[in-house]
Structure formats: C-alpha cells, structure tokens
Chain A
C-alpha cells in the first residue's frame, strides 16, 4: 500500500514537471515571457556562452609587416603532449638571420586542447580561439590544419 502511494507521488512529480514546463514554454513560444522553463539550448540559433578558460582551434598570428610571427623554434612541438604539431623550418630569404616555418601542421584530431603550445611559444605566434566551437569535419584528414588554414581569419 505504501508502494502504491509512492507510485502515485511519482506520477505527481512527472505531471508537475510536464505542466509547469508546458505552461512556461507556451508563454515563451507565443512571446509573452522570456523564461523558457526548459534547459534546452537550441544550438544553431542560440549559443551558450563559453567558459572563460575554454580553448578551441589554433591560430597563427602575423607581424605588422604580414610575415608569420612564428620563427620555427620547435618549442610548441616539444611542449605538445599529443605530439600533433609538425614543423619544417627554412631560412627566411628576406631576413637572412631568421628562420620561418615552411610547413606548420597541427592535427586537431590528435590535439588535446591543453594550450601548452600557446604557453611555450616565445614569440606569441600561436594562440587559441575561445568561442567558435565549430570544428567538425567529414574526414579526419581535413582536421590536419596547415599554415593557410591556421592563419585564416
């Protein structure tokens, strides 16, 4: 008998959720209230604010004259715990004392988004996004970002 009573109480709880949410959401749907009542975030139209410490895809920065800041020092590749940074260095033809990356690949499929590369970089050449989460691709190979993709605005 006690069980029966508890069962009825359970029905009451779900019914209460149903009715309260229905009421709030109906008001919201017809525009009478701003309180949605439900926790759903309707993603493409609505976005949740990202947390302040979130780190997403990488960016390579340029200097004022348009050259890459990166000097191909391999600090980031060394610091990277996932070993997903591949750099090929070459001499900068215009500035004979400097190196620059001929190729700079980051495999975002392997990346752990730890941010060590950003901290390791002595030139402040690499940074990470904080609020654009769209990184999905249909093929894994597309997740290997090269200089062109990394510098794209």
Chain B
C-alpha cells in the first residue's frame, strides 16, 4: 500500500512536470514554425535560459488569477467538471508501464501505479469517462454556447472512441494480451537477422495512423477543436476562469501526454530501446553489453521519455499545421473513413494471422 502511494506520487509528479514542459514545447514549437522566438522572459535568479522557467510562471499566474463563479451556474456540476476532466485524463497515465517490472527480494514491483492485467481495457474505459467533465462543464455553466460546446464534444469523442478502439483491436490480434507490459515484451522481438524490431508501427502501420488520428480527435485540439472553437462558439469552458479554467487547460495537455504515451506503448516498442533484453544489450552486429537490472530500468525510463517527446513533438507539429475541420467533415472522417478502414485493418490482420497459424 505504502509503495503504491509512493509510486503514485512519483509518477504523477513526473507526469505533471512533463505536462508543464509540453506546454513550453507547444509555445516554442509554434513560435518557431511561425518564425517567432516564443516566450523567453521568465527569469529565475537572473537566469533566463531562453524561457526554460516559463511553465512555472504560467502556473503561478493561473493560481493567482481571479476565480469568478457566475451566479447563474449549476454549482455542483460546475465545480465538479474541471476536476473530473483532469482526473480522468491523469489516472490512465498511472496504468502505463514506464519501465520493466523490477523484482527485489523475490517481490515484483511494476513501474506504473496500476500494474493491472487488463491495462488496455482500463485505459479505454477511463478515457471515455473523461467526456463527463466536458459535458458537465457545458451543462453546468447554464450557457447555451457552453452547452453547444459540450454537445459537440460528446458527439466527437463518442464517434472517435469507436475508431480508437477498433484500431487497437488490430494491435491486440498481433500482440494477444491486454497487459500493457506484455504487449511491450512482445514488441521486443526482432526479424530480418535480428535488425528490425517487431514494433506495432511496423506490423500495424495502418492501425498506427488510425490510432493517431482518432487519438487527436479525442484530444479535442486543433484540427479537431470544435468543442472549444475559440473563434466561434468558445466552447464548454466558456464560464470558467482562474484555476478552474486552468484545470481544463492542463487536462488538455495531460491528454496529449497520454496519447503520446499510449502511442509509444502500442506502436513504438514501449520503454524498450532497440536491442535491449532482460540482461542488457545484444546487438545484431554481434556485440553485447550486459547491465544490472536497475540500470536497465533507468535506461528504459529514459528511452520511454525520449520516444514520448518525439511523439509529442509530432502531435504539436500536426496541431500547428492544419486548420480546423467543419463539423460534418469531422463526422465524415470519423464514420466514413476511419471506422471502415479500421475494420478493414482488423479483417486483413486476422486473415494474415490465420494464414500464418
């Protein structure tokens, strides 16, 4: 029990710090894409480091802003919404393995808060619960624009949930397990003379693309940001200010982190760098580098972070490249393209698996 609490504190701290720096990356990356520099004024002890402390300044600003609750809102729903949205975005991160299991004195520690055997189902179900925060936010604000934002979010997330789930079925056919750790193990096999790892993105390229698109739509960020729709309907957090808005805002970025972590786990070989096995590196060109178990965990954690940041970088690049979809186009993309394609992917994968067997 104590261990779970310690793990929870450490891992969620890691997650929140990563999220803070994702906001910084977003600001910097968008700036460079648009030929700007980006925030670089935050100063700690005379050190600017080109904006490295900016996220903390942002967080501090969020805390000290006036938190105004409009008199007409439905208080219980209004107050619960931001918390729900943040919690349901944050909890699934606890189910993602950040490194391999570690056995100390014959006891096994999983390097994730919830070392569940059905991690994948858990994550998917928590993801769909996240919509409650958004809907209740829109409903509890007693504001029609907010409500429209909430309804749009519901329609969007529910449609893309289907595509998200179906694209993962293809992955499940190839790596038959619901335990995320085992999915990662099974990706750590090599073909073509031991050179090419059997990562999800190599065995299931179509599923990878579908998962990424559906995941971005779940994220409710540009190009799928209709629930927020800054330019027209202002969206479900219309009546929120101060830290309550901050929670919605952070929940957005936590979802980016979650999507990137899931993509890493399912398609990029999870925490394993290429050629790392239980006892150390075995390179295909013949060398080997044996390491102690703890060092292996450290390397795995670092690798996970590197892969995560690459995916986050890509997600932000997409976010700053495309304009927004129209709502009917969004539904078209979801129901007429992504879902048929993911079903096709399942059929083809299942056929190939049957032939191989």
Contact residues of A with B, CB < 8 Å? 7, 10-11, 13-15, 17-18, 21-22, 25, 29, 37-40, 42
Counting from the closest, the 3 A-B pairs by CB-CB distance are: A21-B32, A40-B37, A14-B321
Q: When A7-B322, A10-B322 are in contact, do A39 and B317 touch as well, CB less than 8 Å?
A: no
> 5 A-B pairs, CB-CB below 8 angstroms?
A11-B321, A18-B29, A25-B32, A25-B37, A40-B35
Among A13, A14, A29, A38, point to the contact of B36 (Cβ < 8 A): A38
Q: Which residues of A contact B50 (CB under 8 A)?
A: 29
Contacting pair A39 B33 (CB below 8 A)? no
**Main secondary structure on chain B at its contact with chain A?**
loop
| Interface 1/0 per residue, B3-42 and A, CB below 8 Å | 0000000000000000000000000010111111100100
Give the interface of B toward A (CB within 8 A). Answer: 29, 31-37, 40, 50, 317-318, 320-322
Residues on A with beta carbons closer than 8 Å to the beta carbon of B37: 25, 38, 40, 42
**A13, A18, A37, A38: residue with the most chain B Cβ atoms closer than 10 Å:** A18
Closest to B41 in A: A42
Q: How far is the CA of A37 from the CA of B33 in the complex (A)?
A: 11
Partner pick for A38 among B35, B317, B320, B322, CB 8 A cutoff: B35
Shortest distance between the CB of B38 and any CB in chain A (Å): 8
Once the chains are docked, how many angstroms separate the CA of A21 from the CA of B320? 15
Partner of B33 from the list A7, A17, A29 (CB cut-off 8 Å) is: A17
- Asked if A17 contacts B35 (CB within 8 A), the reply is yes
CA distance A34 to B128 in the complex (A): 51
- The residue among B29, B37, B320, B322 with the most chain A CB atoms within 10 A of its own CB is B37
Rounded to whole angstroms, the CA-CA distance of A91 and B31 in the bound complex is 60
Residues of B within 8 A of A38 (CB): 31-32, 35-37
Q: Which residues of A contact B40 (CB under 8 A)?
A: 42
A26 to chain B, nearest CB (A): 10
Cα–Cα distance between A42 and B50 once the two chains are bound (Å): 12
Determine the chain B residues whose CB is within 8 A of the CB of A17 once the complex forms. 32-35
Contact B35 A21 (CB under 8 A): yes
16 extra interchain contacts, Cβ-Cβ under 8 A, other than A17-B35, A18-B29? A10-B322, A14-B317, A14-B321, A17-B32, A17-B34, A18-B33, A21-B32, A21-B33, A22-B32, A25-B32, A38-B32, A38-B37, A39-B35, A39-B36, A40-B31, A40-B37
